[in-house]
Amino acid sequence: MFVTYALYSVKFDILYIGFTRDLISRFHSHNSLANSGFTVKYRPWKVIYVDFFETKTAAMHREKELKSNRGRMFLRELIK
């Protein structure tokens, strides 16, 4: 099972979109474990969207959709 997810940093008004097999571990990594990378600079993160898929290909496709302008507008509407 794969998960496509979107995180939101309230403090910085930033979105992050990704996919993983283990959302709990990945979220923990984004918020506290990682020492470098994009997400470290914008902590803390909140999960604002999740979608589950049977295949990696389907999860990657949804991630790409969410990273488009239309997808980001969809996520911004969820934040409101």
What confidence score (pLDDT) does residue 2 get?
A: 98
pLDDT given at position 34: 87
Q: Does the global pTM surpass 0.85?
A: yes
Q: How confident is the model over 42-46, as a mean pLDDT?
A: 96
Q: Residue 7 above 90 pLDDT?
A: yes
For the chain, give the mean pLDDT: 96
C-alpha 1/C-alpha 5 separation (Å) is 13
Q: Which of 33, 16, 17 is nearest to 25 (CA)?
A: 33
- 34 compared with 52, residue with greater pLDDT: 52
The CATH class given to the 2-79 domain equals alpha beta
- The domains of the chain are located at 2-79
